[in-house]
Amino acid sequence: MLKKWLYIILGGVTFVLGTVGIFVPLLPTVPFYLLTAYFWLNSSNRLYNYFTHSRYYQTYIQQMILEKKATKSNLLKMLIMVFIVLLIPFILFNSLHVRIMLIVVFLAHLIFGYLYFRKTKK
């Protein structure tokens, strides 16, 4: 019972840190959100079943990431969202170093996304 509540609280903390990371360029968002998913999914069977049976999990995790079944329109939507998320700090921060890092991150998404989705699942 204590473990369940500890995981729920830690998941909440990592969720807040990940959300703050959207607006603070040097605070990583994805690792905190991955930790949030880990903590919340391991906190209870009910939360695990709720998450894995949701429409978003089935579409964006199960089909796109695990089964690599992504339509070109879904890939384009994903790329547009990454672009918008990276464009916000690009506009807000007038720093050449931050802008270069954001461009590198966007290019990495393009390259590794292409390499990941062009591979066939064995």
Residue with tokens 């290019």: 107
In angstroms, the first-to-last Cα distance of the chain is 40
Residue-wise DSSP of 38-56: HHHHHH-HHHHHHHHTSHH
Q: Is the pLDDT of residue 16 over 90?
A: yes
pLDDT at position 96 is 95
Contact 40, 33 (CB under 8 A): no
Question: What are 103's two structure tokens?
Answer: 């461009």
Per-residue pLDDT band at 121 (split at 50, 70, 90) = low
- Cβ contact 109:79 at 8 Å: yes
Phi-psi bin for 120: left (phi > 0), alpha (psi -120 to 50), beta?
beta
Tell me the H-state helices in 1-122.
Answer: 2-23, 30-43, 45-52, 55-56, 72-92, 96-118
pTM of the model: 0.54
Token digits of residue 31: 């690792």
pLDDT at 102 over 90: yes
Q: Report in angstroms the alpha-carbon separations of 56 from 80, 81, 122.
A: 18, 15, 24
**pLDDT tens-place string over residues 28-84:** 888 898 899 899 889 989 888 888 888 877 877 777 777 777 778 878 888 899 999
